[in-house]
Structure 1
Amino acid sequence: METTTIDETALQAFVLKAVDDLAAGYLGVMVSIGSRLGLYRALAESGRLTSAELARRTDCAERYVRDWLSSQAAAGYLVYHPEEQTFELTPEQALVLADESSAVYLPPAWNVPAAMWSDEAKALHSFRTGEGIAWGDHDPRLAHGTAAFYRNGYRASLTSEWLPALDGVVAALERGIAVADVGAGHGHTTVLMAEAFPNSRFHGYDSHVPSVSEARRNAREAGLEERAVFTQVHADEYEQRGFGLICFFDALHDMGDPLAVLRHAEKALTADGTLLLVEPNAADRLEDNLTVVGQTYYAASSMICTAHSLYDGGELVLGAQAGPARLTAVLNDAGFSRVRIVAETPFNLIIEAKR
């Protein structure tokens, strides 16, 4: 039998990397607990606190809070001051962990891996059989975590950067047009646009009934239920009513037949209408996506995006890292001859498509 020589230095380096990733899994649970109990918020509002002071302010048991604080300090999520035995949340940490309106607020994102763990048995079955998993068949934390994670990023960029980057779209929205938000989920993007452009009407479409209900609630709370209307329907079955703008926000790659969906959208647009496609940021080659963001998206794709696409028919399974060349080719096949990337973030490509 052949013997393999082990490089002990390489082995130890990889073990340390794996342990670091394992610690990140533990950390995610702590972040979720800290967010839900208001521990981060209390620290952000009060400055340096001892474990006893934080426990009193949040009505929690001190002994649990003490270990939670220690875990956060060890992870670099809090600053520990040993001379006072106090813990502090820096302004930068507060933006990420305590400020729910911040564009970089992240605690809800940990609901997604929690849902993935909960759905492991379904994923094992799908990996072995090739069957899909419907979006609605996942742990409910998936929908809520995904919506909350993306909401603030959209709030920071959608109306201030992405829409102005499109040719003539802001002027049209200000005059008043019909807008479709396909795969609208909880409706955050639809509501954001409706708030910004009172002369236009917005129609959100999604096939997931609980998400449509949540979207209607969000529109009602914003006082926009008359101009932001949500309908439960498949992405290639909504009424073609002459839209000046049709949007897909991190949704197209989840669909079983994105080409049919885009062809339906092309027919639903007015002659001078625009399609806005927001997709996960990716390069065209796998070797250029071997990053932390790529790691995250490929993992989510295997259990969520690809799984739903296969459930939804699997005619063309784009996955969460399709890349601009593949997305452009699908848009071209659907009848959009003018395609350009108008903006990008570490997480998203923002693409304009016209006939």
Structure 2
Amino acid sequence: MIHERKEVCMGDLANDMLLWYDKNHRDLPWRHSKNPYTIWISEIMLQQTRVEAVKGYYARFLERLPDVQALAEVKEQELMKLWQGLGYYNRARNLKKAAQMIMTQYDGVFPDTYEELLKLPGIGEYTAGAIASIAFGQSVPAVDGNVYRIYTRLMAQKDDIMQNAVRKAIRNEIAAMLPEKRAGDFNQAWMDLGADICIPNGKPLCEKCPIAKSCKMAGKEEVLAYPVKKKKKTRKIEEKTIFLLEYQGKYLLQKRPDKGLLAGLWEFPSQEGKLSLEEVEKQLHAMHAKAETIDMLGSAKHIFSHIEWHMLGYRICFDTIEQDFLEDFTAVTKEQIETEYSIPSAFAAYLSYIGSK
């Protein structure tokens, strides 16, 4: 049952959230310590990625790179392999850049203030606020999508949260609500409330919400209209043909350019457009590459933030290949793909055919 809504002071609202958090907070592995390094790793991984998906990556990452020095020294190819499947690979590159900066400019000691954390590559206002408040007890907010969603419903605020001025105003309001000694718990209460109660997809569980009595939208059908966001631009669709090329028991990979989408990562060779079997055979003939078998692997789709790849795959096993053709690729074994070479999840539909017949 939804309580009758009335005006309450922000201090009461913060207290209600903390009481709820104390009894209902999620048991997450990165909450077992106040170590700023492990909190940082978790926060970067959690950007654009579900909690359940992150847990396994988090454990494997810390087993191999347990501290700032290990991260600063890791080779990029190994780092990309550890990150494989999480996507948004610049997050991993910025982690390493920031670790190197901590080693050289902070003598290996993790910065302990919001202001210093903001200077590190890949750390914005939210992440700096999360680390500063949770690891160091600094009284700063950590405002992410959960907070925007809950706050706009709480206040029935119809302003477009994609506008910087609106975001700044909400951040200032949350900062004014921060309890003096429990900023980290308060910030995490917003996270858990957004994950379990005022959820991003679907109807919120207002009857279980600890701040429903203060919420102007609690129990109302219109609650799903909040937060107000300007519609995103329609994604650009790109058609591609993906080639799984096998020669003498090895697979041919190529590296993407150092800039742009999936920069610097390994991939299966591809070509723009969806080629028919006849078109593939003509291209192979022109390159003097003799195929033993050509199998169509079917269609797949991968969605990036602004682009969709609509793909058609072929597995081609070669009898003979001109040496000039081979020079454009790196030949690797199935085991090397599994342990060394990071292939983005965009190619996951075709990665599963490695080693199969």
TM-score after normalising by structure 1:
0.25
Work out which structure has the larger RCO, using CA pairs closer than 8 Å and 6 or more positions apart in sequence: 2
Say which structure is richer in helix: 1
* Rg comparison, structure with higher value: 2
TM-score after normalising by structure 2:
0.25
